[in-house]
C-alpha cells in the first residue's frame, strides 16, 4: 500500500484521541509516556494522560507484524483497543509504531 495513503489515513484517525468504537471497545491513540510490566501511559493529542492496564491476554502489533510487550518502548505512537473494567481500562490490543505515526484502528 502506498505509504502516503497510510499516513493520510493515520492523520485522519488521530484527529480524535479517545474514541468509542463498536463492540464496546475504547480506542486510545497517542504517544507512550509511561511503561511498566503491567501498564502503559499514553499522552493523547489533546495532552490528556490515559493509563491502560496490560494483561496476559493483551495482543501486540508493531506496524503490520505481530509483536510482544518487550518491543513496546517510550515514545512509540500507539492505538490501543481497550475495554473498561470497573474503573480501569484494560488493553485488548496494542498497535504501535516506533519512530512514526500510529496505525489506524
Domain map (residue ranges) of the chain = 3-97
Q: Give the pLDDT confidence score for residue 102 in this predicted structure.
A: 44
Classify domain 3-97 at the CATH superfamily level.
Nucleic acid-binding proteins (2.40.50.140)
Residue 81 has pLDDT above 50, yes or no: yes
**Is pTM, for the whole model, over 0.95?**
no
Q: Give the pLDDT confidence score for residue 41 in this predicted structure.
A: 98
Nearest-angstrom CA–CA distance, 78 and 105: 10
Residue 4 has pLDDT above 90, yes or no: no
pLDDT in tens, 26-70: 999 999 999 999 999 999 999 999 999 999 999 999 999 999 999
Amino acid at each position: 500500500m502506498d505509504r502516503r495513503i497510510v499516513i493520510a489515513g493515520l492523520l485522519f484517525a488521530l484527529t480524535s484521541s479517545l474514541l468509542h468504537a463498536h463492540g464496546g471497545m475504547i480506542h486510545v491513540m497517542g504517544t507512550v509516556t509511561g511503561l511498566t510490566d503491567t501498564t502503559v501511559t499514553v499522552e493523547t493529542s489533546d495532552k490528556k494522560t490515559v493509563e491502560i492496564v496490560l494483561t496476559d491476554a493483551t495482543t501486540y502489533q508493531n506496524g503490520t507484524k505481530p509483536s510482544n510487550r518487550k518491543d513496546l518502548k517510550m515514545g512509540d505512537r500507539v492505538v490501543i483497543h481497550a475495554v473498561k473494567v470497573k474503573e480501569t481500562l484494560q488493553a485488548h490490543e496494542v498497535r504501535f509504531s516506533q519512530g512514526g505515526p500510529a496505525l489506524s484502528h
